[in-house]
Amino acid sequence: MSNIDVTAKTYDLPWLARAMDWLAGDGAERAAGGLTRHLLLPAVGIGLFLMLWAAAASQIQTSLGQLPGPTQVWAQSVALWDEHREERAREAAFDERVEQRAERAIARGASDEEIAKIRARGYTGAPTFFSQIWTSLVTVMVGFLLASLIAIPLGILCGMSAAVYAAVNPLIQIFKPVSPLAWLPLVTIIVSAVYVTDDPLLAKSFIISAMTVTLCCLWPTVINTTVGVATVDRDLMNVSRVLRLSWFKQTVKIILPSALPMIFTGLRLSLGIGWMVLIAAEMLAQNPGLGKFVWDEFQNGSSNSLARIMVAVLVIGFIGFALDRGMLMLQRRVSWDKTAVLR
Amino acid sequence: MSAYLSIDRVGITFPTPKGPLEVLKDIKLDIAQGEVVSLIGHSGCGKSTVLNIVAGLLEASVGGVLLEEREVKSPGPDRAVVFQQHSLLPWLSVYDNVRLAVDQVFGRSKSRKERHEWTLHNLDLVHMGHALERRPAEISGGMKQRVGIARALAMEPKVLLMDEPFGALDSLTRTHMQDSLLEIQARLNNTVILITHDVDEAVLLSDRIVMMTNGPSATVGRILEVDLLRPRDRLALAEDPTYHHYRAEVVKFLHERHAPAVGQSARAARERPTLRLAANG
């Protein structure tokens, strides 16, 4: 036994080593092992990464100066936050001035129309990094929700009817691999042609970004919903037949709950894709958001630009992670199978 | 006089890549109201297929099933099925699983309060009244099967179809469930078709045991009347020579005459039962 143990550790076969530990009854160390696994090891990984990054960055000279290391990036993220707060302060001051002007106008008995005109003048400062984050989040959520509203019903139909599936499947397979960059020019031109109004409720750029997200994150949800619906346990379907449940009741009481885990798998994949697509779409189409921030900094080319782009990269990563965790939490909440390991 | 439930010369053939496969052939069986009939046979002989045809989940290729002289064409709650794998909806509580069936069957004829009480009544019948809000994943296999039985009973079926209902349980739980079923049957006098591969279970629970020959083209090999007085008691029967006689008859049929075709050619396996049948007749 001890021989095998040594071998396992020498040749670094973690699963075998773990199995041996388990067989040897190393339960007492499990609590300590949990702490190691969940805190210490990730910290070691991140620490190593930062060190490598710092070391590599100091070796690389770019046209915009030295490649920024972790410290410069941290400094820039603080600077971005300060800029954001200054901008908000300026906006508050502007709003106050507008309000004062409006009050003066009321005092001298100006017409309602004139006062409304004064108040309608909004603040037009440049969007800050943090307002770009917000724009991106709203856009991705709108695109994702729209995609879900189309994809889930379509997936249910495909899963229930082999005929619908046969008709729709080729389209899914053809459109699924299309890059967002290929959709974007089409969407831009079509939205520009169709969405013509003098008083736009939503900015055209917003619609273009959201539509591109929708087009790209439809597919995982459609496919996973289809599979989930098509693979409902036959025994449960037989229960439904014995009970003579109506089509609607069967869908609501049996098929949907049964397919829910797969639907959520699809939704999580979709949201992940949507977030990636959105950044690309914003960059290419100059639509407001994080992607535009990255592009602007790239064009700007100041000595801070590289560090700022790196801040954006990290933030994009964190938000993508947070979105996925959010979906996971939602999935855990609505999941009936509390024993399933979701990760 | 025609029987309450009549399985009339039923045969079924499934298409396979190697050509059509006749699974059942010429199954004939009449069942009286309140009778408990077991179908016993080796696995793969088509017992479940017979049950599924009676349930209406499968359609017979030849012949048909008559319940109260009406032909069975589709599944329905008058032929409630207790499945081998409990088949409870895992996202509903014990209560809601039974209530779904109650609402579906008595949605029009019973008031909300009556349906609630009927749900509770049936769960009490299987001694599950204490776990109403639990989910299927939170209760044991035996308890799940009890809820499955409560759901079937709650439909007030004309025939209760049980497909190896205790097959997935450990032997201790199984005896317990068999006793429960005896008790329920004594109270409600249901008509039951029970599929089993457990000889003791068949003798203990049934009025008649239908022994099936091995497939393909499986059919009824022999029908054994079990003339033991009800209510039956497991312990008393353990000493009873008649019980052992019946038991021995079934074992003989299954293991001497119709041993599973291991190492035999498919042709021999097909021919054997027919030969024996002729000898029986």
pLDDT at residue A232, as a whole number: 92
Q: Could you give the ipTM of this predicted complex?
A: 0.84
Q: Say whether both A23 and A121 belong to one domain.
A: no
What six digits make up the tokens of A86?
Answer: 């200054």
C-alpha separations of B231 from A90, A159, A170, B122, B178 in Å? 90, 50, 63, 21, 13
Minimum-distance CB partner of B83 among A235, A243, A258:
A235
Q: What was the pLDDT predicted at A23?
A: 54
Q: Average pLDDT, stretch A43-51?
A: 93
CB of B99 within 8 Å of any CB in chain A?
no
Question: Does residue A29 fall inside a structural domain?
Answer: yes
The residues near A96 (Cβ < 8 Å, ≥ 6 apart) are none
Q: What CATH number does the domain containing B227 carry? A: 3.40.50.300
Mean pLDDT within A118-147: 86
- Identify the domain boundary among B156, B189, B211: B156
Residues of A in contact with B90 (CB under 8 A): 336-337
- Looking at A2-6, A161-165, A185-189, A290-294, which range is the least confident one? A2-6
From chain A, pick out residues whose CB is under 8 angstroms from the CB of B89: 236, 239, 253-254, 257
Distance of CA A83 to CAs A76, A261, B264, Å?
10, 43, 86
Last residue of a domain, one of B140, B156, B172: B156
Whether residues B263 and B175 share a domain: the answer is yes
In a domain, A73, yes or no: no
In a domain, residue B255? The reply is: yes
Listed residue (B211, B181, B216) closest to B196, CA to CA = B211
- The Cα of A233 is separated from the nearest Cα of chain B by a number of Å equal to 9
Q: In this model, does residue A219 exceed pLDDT 90? A: yes
Question: Is the same domain home to A202 and A111?
Answer: no
Most confident of A205-219, B167-181, B244-258: A205-219
- Which structural domain range is residue A225 located in? 129-334
Within a 13 Å sphere around the CA of B189, how many CA atoms are in the beta-carbon half?
3
Across the interface, whether the CB atoms of B104 and A245 are under 8 A apart is answered yes
Mean pLDDT of chain A: 84
Residues of chain A contacting B73 with CB distance shorter than 8 Å: none
Check whether residue A86 and residue A214 sit in a common domain.
no
**pLDDT at residue A1 above 60?**
no
Q: Is A222 in the same domain as A97?
A: no
Query: CB–CB of B192/B37 below 8 Å?
Result: yes
* Residues 6 or more apart whose Cβ sits within 8 Å of residue B16: none
Contacts of B244 (CB under 8 A, 6+ apart): none
The total domain count for chain A is 3
- Selecting from B79, B83, B90 the residue whose C-beta is nearest the C-beta of A337 gives B90
Judging contacts by C-beta atoms under 8 Å, the chain B residues touching residue A258 are 91
**Do A264 and A151 share a structural domain?**
yes
DSSP B220: E
For residue B218, is pLDDT > 70?
yes
Residue B274, pLDDT above cutoff 80: no
Confidence bin at B53 (pLDDT 50/70/90): very high
Count of beta carbons in the 10 Å neighbourhood of residue A263: 24
Is B189 found in the same domain as B149? no
Where b means 16+ CB within 10 Å and e means fewer, B44-69 reads ebbbbbbbbbbbbbbebbebebbbee
Nearest chain B Cα to A257, which residue? Answer: B91
**What pLDDT, in 10s, does the model give residues B55-97?**
999 999 999 999 998 999 899 999 999 988 889 999 999 999 9
Q: Does B135 touch chain A (CB under 8 A)?
A: yes
Helices (H), chain A: 2-10, 14-23, 30-35, 41-59, 70-107, 112-120, 129-160, 162-175, 180-194, 204-230, 234-243, 247-250, 256-285, 290-300, 305-334
Higher-confidence residue of A4 and A137: namely: A137
pLDDT, averaged across chain B: 86
Residue A103's nearest CA partner among A85, A115, A95, A87 is A115
pLDDT band at B266 (very low <50, low <70, confident <90, very high): very low
Q: Does B57 touch chain A (CB under 8 A)?
A: yes
At position A20, the amino acid (one-letter code) is M
- From A308, A343, A324, A275, select the one nearest A76 (Cα to Cα): A308
User: pLDDT for A68-117, tens place per residue?
Assistant: 889 888 998 898 888 888 888 888 888 888 888 888 888 888 788 887 88
Nearest CB to B101 within list A243, A260, A337: A243
* Residue A305 counted as domain residue: yes
CA distance A80 to A73: 10
For residue A169, the distance in angstroms to the closest alpha carbon of chain B comes to 26
Q: At residue A10, does pLDDT exceed 60?
A: no
**Measured between beta carbons, which residues in chain A are less than 8 angstroms from residue B76?**
242, 244
Asked whether residue B83 is domain-assigned, the answer is no
B101–A235 C-beta distance less than 8 A: no
**Structural domain of B20:** 5-78+160-280
Q: A276 and A170, same structural domain?
A: yes
Structural domains of chain B, count: 2
Say yes or no: B164 and B72 in one domain.
yes
Q: Provide the CB-side half-sphere exposure for B208 (13 A, CA).
A: 17
Among B75, B87, B100, beta carbon nearest to A235:
B87
Min Cα–Cα distance to chain B from A150, Å: 25
Q: Is residue A58 part of a domain?
A: no
Contact with chain A for residue B89, Cβ under 8 A: yes
Is position B84 within any domain?
Answer: no
Q: Which residues of A touch B (CB under 8 A)?
A: 233, 235-236, 238-239, 241-245, 249, 253-254, 257-258, 260, 336-339
Is residue B172 located within the same domain as residue B271? yes
Test B105 with A243 for CB contact under 8 angstroms. yes
Average pLDDT over residues A314-322: 93
